[in-house]
Amino acid sequence: MFVVGATARAAAELLGVHRNTAASFFMGLRKLIASKLPSYELSEEVEADESYFRGKPKGKQGRGAAGKVALFGLLKRGAKV
């Protein structure tokens, strides 16, 4: 059973299985999906950056703040992202 945006823990509760079982299944799916994607070799100069986004600027700021969505990117100079 899959629900868009659901965590392994939420799926485990919905299905009535242990959270480790659901996490293991999710990891297997991620590996299967990754095996079908083209691979990219990064060498020479590579930039990495992260940003955190959320709708309302209330409460705690920075990495530990709840409700933020992390975005991580890699860029090889002179190439596509």
pLDDT at 8: 85
Given a cut of 90, whether residue 42 has pLDDT beyond it is no
What range defines the domain where residue 34 resides?
1-38
Put residue 33 in one of left, alpha, beta given phi > 0 → left and psi -120 to 50 → alpha: alpha
User: For 52-77, how does the pLDDT look when each residue is reduced to its tens digit (9 = 90+)?
Assistant: 776 565 666 666 666 677 777 777 77
User: What total number of domains does the chain contain?
Assistant: 2
Given a cut of 90, whether residue 20 has pLDDT beyond it is yes
The share of the chain scoring above pLDDT 90, in percent, equals 9
Instruction: Verify that 7 and 29 share a domain, yes or no.
Output: yes
Instruction: Verify that 28 and 55 share a domain, yes or no.
Output: no
Whole-model pTM over 0.85: no
